[in-house]
Amino acid sequence: EQSVDVSDTEKKTKYSREFKVKAAFFLTGVSGIAALAGFGATLAAARKQDPKYFGKGMLATKELPETGANLAIRALGWGTLYAVTGCGILFYSVWKLSGAKNIEEFRYKVGSIWPKIPKNDPPQGRTEFSG
């Protein structure tokens, strides 16, 4: 009978490149599906609420040379660009200001700034939720 050390197996799958790629694809897929579902639900609600003006927003007219859908897509693109760029600059600035060379060093430096969270051992307070 051969015994398998679970901790070694978990370490291999936890840090393997294949596992990280699969996890990234999974999270990307779930996020994409959630975004599409949210956008679709919003679009359906707008169509149901006012079908007359919804139809007008789908076609370009002489007064409005750009459709509402094109304007919304363009606004979404610019908003995404600003959000990603702004957050990227913010996070990169915090990283550089910390002076960390890698993620472990950054984690240690940030952890030394914030207060420590005390361990809850033995549990205090309400414990009826635990199994």
In this structure, of 18-22, 31-35, 119-123, the range with the lowest mean pLDDT score is 119-123
pTM: 0.47
CA atoms within 13 A on the CB side of 65: 0
- Beta carbons within 8 Å of 31's beta carbon, 6+ residues apart: none
- pLDDT tens-digit readout, 55-101: 766 666 777 677 777 788 889 999 999 999 999 999 999 999 999 89
